Amino acid sequence: MLHRRLTQFFILYAAGVGLLLAFKVALGLSDYVIPGPGEIWRTGQTYGAAYAAAVLNTLGVAVLGHGLSIVLAAAVAVIARLKDWIGGFIRTAAFNIQSYPIVAVAPILFILLGDGLATRLLIAALICYFPLLLSFLGVFSEPVREIEHFYEATGRMTWRLQIKIRAFENLQKLTTVVVGSATLAMVGTIVAEFIAATAGIGYSIRIALYQSDLAKILVALLLIGVGTSLWLVLLEGLGAALQRRMERP
């Protein structure tokens, strides 16, 4: 699994870089527009170790942010699933806030929360929670009549039970979304670092952009890809194990 994922990623990455280089050769672009393979290689050697450490750093925050956004999305979805005014209000809030670009909201967040880890985590979580929210909302607001009827009829239905039933019946869908949203946590963290950190791979990318150094960016993308692949494989393993446990006969 891990092996396959990584192989696939390397093929993909090689194809991407190959395409860029082909462009370079075809249009006769000079090294400052698209760096040559030699420069990419040298940059990798020089910055590889430091960037790998930065990616690990970022991954750490991303894992936290992902957890936070799962909790956040679940909480919001549970309320927003209600058909009444409060539910509509929370839905409106969640949807509208999402349409604000984080860069526009970030200054306000910094004003309100300061610039500790909290703000960075929150930015990462805000970027990652919304797709989770959408799926949770879809799953949590669709009744499973054949199971719920009994609890309704006997007056035993609670909102927690309802959520549990619907989540369980859609376990596979939820696992797909939760695992997939991990990559969003990654990008969320990187963006947060990009805006306001002094560590992590997002910070390195920021500097590389400032220095107009595409070779560095390509090295960073490689390491982000490897890090993400590792994390996804881990999460998928966990998801599959959970599903097996929950669905055992």
Residue 48: how many other CB atoms lie within 10 Å:
14
- b/e sequence 220-245, b meaning 16+ C-beta within 10 Å: bebbbbbbbbbbbbebbeebeeeeee
* Radius of gyration over every alpha carbon of the chain, rounded to an integer in angstroms: 22
Q: Closer CB to a copy of itself, residue 33 or residue 118?
A: 33
Is residue 184 near a copy of itself by the rule CB under 8 A?
Answer: yes
Give 200's DSSP letter: S
Told to check if 133 binds a copy of itself by CB under 8 A, we report yes
Rounded CA-CA distance 28/98 in Å is 42
Stretch that binds a copy of itself, among 68-76, 144-152, 174-182, 237-245 (CB under 8 A): 174-182
10 binds, among a copy of itself, other proteins, none (CB under 5 to 8 A by kind): none
Using CB under 8 A, which of 61, 76, 190, 196 touches a copy of itself?
Answer: 190
Mapping DSSP to helix (H, G, I), strand (E, B) and coil, where does residue 175 land? helix
Name the residue among 95, 98, 79 with its Cα closest to residue 87. Answer: 79
Closest separation in Å from C-beta 39 to other proteins = 8
CB atoms near residue 55 (< 10 Å): 25
| The binder of other proteins chosen from 11, 152, 240, 241 (CB under 8 A) | 152
Cα→Cα distances 83→140, 152, 221, Å: 12, 17, 43
157 binds, among a copy of itself, other proteins, none (CB under 5 to 8 A by kind): none
Shortest separation between residue 112's beta carbon and a copy of itself, angstroms: 7
Instruction: Report H helices in 33-170.
Output: 37-80, 85-98, 102-113, 117-140, 145-153, 159-169
**DSSP label of 31:** T
Q: According to the binding rule CB under 8 A, does residue 101 interact with other proteins?
A: no
Rule CB under 8 A: choose which of 181, 189, 204, 228 binds other proteins: 204
Find the binder of other proteins among 84, 101, 111, 160 (CB under 8 A).
Answer: 111
Q: Residue count of the chain, please give it.
A: 249
In the complex, the residues that contact a copy of itself under the rule CB under 8 A are 4-5, 8-9, 11-12, 19-20, 23, 33-34, 88-89, 92-93, 95-96, 98-105, 107-108, 111-112, 130-131, 133-135, 137-139, 141-142, 170, 172-174, 176-177, 180-181, 183-184, 186-187, 190-191, 194, 202, 205, 209, 212, 214, 217, 220-221, 224-225, 228-229, 232
